[in-house]
C-alpha cells in the first residue's frame, strides 16, 4: 500500500531540475487493454514521455484490475514524482462520472469506478474515459488529425474503437457513450458481434472481421492456406493468419482483404456522409492496414459517400502516435479537465 503524500517530498524529485516548471506539465496516462495495462508519465502538450510501465491485465481475477492499475501508477510516481493529475482509458462505455457500464473485452469490471478508486488511493485528481476517445484526443492534438476541428478516428484491433472530434471537441453524447462506429449495423444477415448483435461494422472491418470473412471463404471451400495456418480449425482463424497468407502471395487471402477493404470503405463512407469530417484517421494493431491498404480504401470511399464526385475528397490517413496513443490521450484528457485545454 503506497499512500502518496500530495505535498510531495522534494527529495524524491531529484531528476527534475526547476521542480515547478517540470511538475506543472507532469501527468500520468493509463490505458487499460484486454491483455495489458500501459502507463506513461507524459507532458500532454508535447507528448514527450518521461517514464513508461506495462503490466498484464489480471484476466483470471478481474477484481484485481483496479489494484493492478494503481500499482502501475505507484511505480510511475515513484520514478518521476507526483503528477498534476491522472487520466485513465478503459475499453467500454464510460459515463460522465468515469464509471464503466459495459466492457466486453475486460470481463468483471462492470460498474468499476476506476477514477474513484485511484482518487482514494493517491489523493489526486483522476479522470476515466473511453480508451478510443483518449487515443483520438492524442491524434487530434499531436498526431494525424492535428489542425482539424472535425475528425473521425477509427482504431481497428480485435474490434473497432472509434471517436469523433466535432467543432474541436470530443463528442461524448448525452451519457458519455458516443463514438462507437464499430457497432453500426451494416449487414442484417451478417456475423454475430462480440456485443451480441448481428451485422455490426466491426464483424467485417476489424481483426475479428478478417477472421469472419476468411470463414465465409472456407464455407465456399476456399481459403485453404489460411485454414491450414490456423491449424485446420476455422474457429481459430485470426487476422494474423490472413496477414501470413498474404505475405506468401495467397490469392484467397488477397480476396479476403479485398472484401475487407470494401466493408471498411462502406463504413467510412457512411461516417463521412453523416459527419462531414475534414480527415479520417485509421489506427490500431492490424498488420494488414498499411499505406497500400489505406490507398485502396481511399479509392473506394468516394463511391460510398453521398455526392461523392461533387464534394472535396476527405483525406484518410494512418494514425501517427502508435500503441501509446491511448495512454498519452488519457493524460491530455486529464490536463483538459483539471488545467484547461
Ligand atoms: Zn456490435
Q: pLDDT tens digits for 134-169?
A: 999 999 999 999 999 999 999 998 889 899 999 999
- State in Å: Cα 51 to ligand 1 middle: 35
* Cell numbers standing for residue 110: 462492470
Residues having C-beta closer than 5 Å to ion ligand 1: 183, 193, 195, 197, 200
User: From ligand 1's centre to the CA of 111, what distance in Å?
Assistant: 20
Question: How is residue 118 written as a grid cell?
Answer: 485511484
Cα 183 to middle of ligand 1, angstroms: 4
Beta strands in 112-200 (DSSP E): 126-130, 151-156, 160-166, 169-170
Cβ atoms < 10 Å from Cβ of 215: 19
Regions of the chain with pLDDT less than 70? 1-22, 107-108
CA of 92 to the centre of ligand 1 (A): 12
Q: How many CA atoms lie within 13 A of 238 on its CB side?
A: 9
Please provide the size of the chain in residues.
Answer: 341
10 Å CB burial of residue 205 (0-12, 13-18, 19+) is buried
Asked if 228 contacts 217 with a C-beta cutoff of 8 angstroms, the reply is no
Instruction: Find, among 153, 172, 174, 175, the residue nearest to 271 by Cα.
Output: 153
CA 194 / ligand 1 centre spacing (Å): 6
Gap from CA of 198 to ligand 1 centroid (Å): 7
Sign of CA pseudo-dihedral 88, 126, 167, 180? positive
CATH class of 10-137+324-338: alpha beta
Ligand 1 centroid vs 257 CA: distance in angstroms? Answer: 21
Separation CA 206–CA 204 (nearest Å): 6
CB atoms under 10 Å from CB of 304, counted, come to 17
Domain 146-319: CATH superfamily, name plus number: ATPase, nucleotide binding domain (3.30.420.40)
Note the pLDDT of residue 110.
76
CA of 310 to the centre of ligand 1 (A): 33
259-264: long-range pairs with CB below 8 Å, 24+: 259/204, 259/213, 259/216, 260/204, 260/205, 260/209, 260/210, 260/213, 260/288, 261/293, 261/296, 261/297, 261/300, 262/300, 263/186, 263/201, 263/204, 263/205, 263/209, 263/213, 264/156, 264/205, 264/297
Enumerate the CATH 3.30.420.40 domain ranges in the chain, comma separated.
Answer: 10-137+324-338, 146-319
Phi, psi of 257, rounded to the nearest 5 degrees? -65, -35
Amino acid at each position: 500500500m503506497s499512500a502518496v503524500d500530495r505535498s510531495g517530498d522534494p527529495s524524491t524529485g531529484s531528476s527534475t531540475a526547476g521542480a515547478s516548471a517540470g511538475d506543472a506539465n507532469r501527468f500520468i496516462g493509463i490505458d487499460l487493454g484486454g491483455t495489458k495495462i500501459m502507463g506513461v508519465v507524459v507532458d500532454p502538450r508535447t507528448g514527450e514521455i518521461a517514464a513508461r510501465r506495462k503490466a498484464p491485465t489480471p484476466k483470471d481475477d478481474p477484481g484485481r484490475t483496479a489494484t493492478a492499475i494503481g500499482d502501475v501508477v505507484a511505480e510511475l510516481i515513484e520514478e518521476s514524482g507526483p503528477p498534476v493529475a491522472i487520466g485513465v482509458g478503459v475499453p467500454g462505455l464510460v459515463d460522465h462520472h468515469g464509471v464503466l457500464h459495459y466492457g466486453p473485452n475486460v470481463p468483471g469490471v462492470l460498474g468499476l469506478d476506476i477514477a474513484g478508486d485511484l482518487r482514494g488511493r493517491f489523493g489526486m485528481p483522476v479522470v476515466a474515459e473511453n480508451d478510443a476517445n483518449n487515443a483520438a484526443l492524442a491524434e487530434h492534438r499531436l498526431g494525424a488529425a492535428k489542425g482539424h476541428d472535425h475528425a473521425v478516428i477509427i482504431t481497428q484491433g480485435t474490434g473497432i474503437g472509434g471517436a469523433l472530434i466535432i467543432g474541436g471537441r470530443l463528442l461524448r453524447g448525452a451519457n458519455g457513450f458516443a463514438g462507437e462506429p464499430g457497432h453500426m449495423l451494416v449487414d442484417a444477415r451478417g456475423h454475430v458481434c462480440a456485443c451480441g448483435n448481428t451485422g455490426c461494422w466491426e464483424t467485417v472491418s476489424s481483426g475479428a472481421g478478417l477472421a469472419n470473412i476468411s470463414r465465409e471463404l472456407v464455407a465456399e471451400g476456399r481459403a485453404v492456406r489460411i485454414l491450414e495456418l490456423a491449424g485446420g480449425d476455422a474457429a481459430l482463424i485470426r487476422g494474423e493468419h490472413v496477414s501470413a497468407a498474404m505475405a506468401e502471395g495467397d490469392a484467397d487471402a488477397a480476396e479476403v482483404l479485398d472484401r475487407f477493404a470494401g466493408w471498411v470503405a462502406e463504413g467510412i463512407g457512411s461516417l463521412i456522409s453523416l459527419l462531414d469530417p475534414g480527415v479520417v484517421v485509421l489506427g490500431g494493431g492490424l498488420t494488414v492496414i498499411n499505406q497500400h491498404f489505406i490507398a485502396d480504401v481511399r479509392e473506394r470511399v468516394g463511391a460510398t459517400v453521398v455526392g461523392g464526385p461533387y464534394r472535396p475528397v476527405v483525406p484518410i490517413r494512418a494514425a501517427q502516435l502508435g500503441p501509446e496513443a491511448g495512454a498519452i490521450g488519457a493524460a491530455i484528457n486529464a490536463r483538459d479537465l483539471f488545467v484547461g485545454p
